[in-house]
Amino acid sequence: MVTATVREWFEDDGWGVLDSAETPGGCFVHFSNVQMPGFRALGAGQRVQLDWEAPGFKQDGFDYRAVRVIP
């Protein structure tokens, strides 16, 4: 697992951007990937654990990987 910091979180839409040493440009995560029943909101600056899943797909030259966030 990798420790990340929430850069910003859009509570109304349930997604946000997280930064870590492995994702210096940030990575996107949706609340459906947060391992906590009913948990939708993360706060900016909050530290979380990222658990990388299988490599994702390529779009616009960028690699996307699904993540699970464990508050």
- Distance, CA of 44 to CA of 61 (rounded, Å): 28
Which structural domain range is residue 36 located in?
2-70
Counting the structural domains of the chain, the total is 1
Q: Which residue has the higher pLDDT, 34 or 8?
A: 8
Residue-wise pLDDT for 13-53, tens only, equals 888 888 888 777 888 888 877 877 667 788 899 988 887 66
In degrees, rounded to 5, the angle at the alpha carbon of residue 19 between the alpha carbons of residues 14 and 25 is: 105
**Model-level pTM greater than 0.75?**
no
Kindly compute the dihedral angle of the four CA atoms of residues 52, 16, 59, 64, in this order, to the nearest 10 degrees. Answer: -10
- Domain CATH code at residue 62: 2.40.50.140
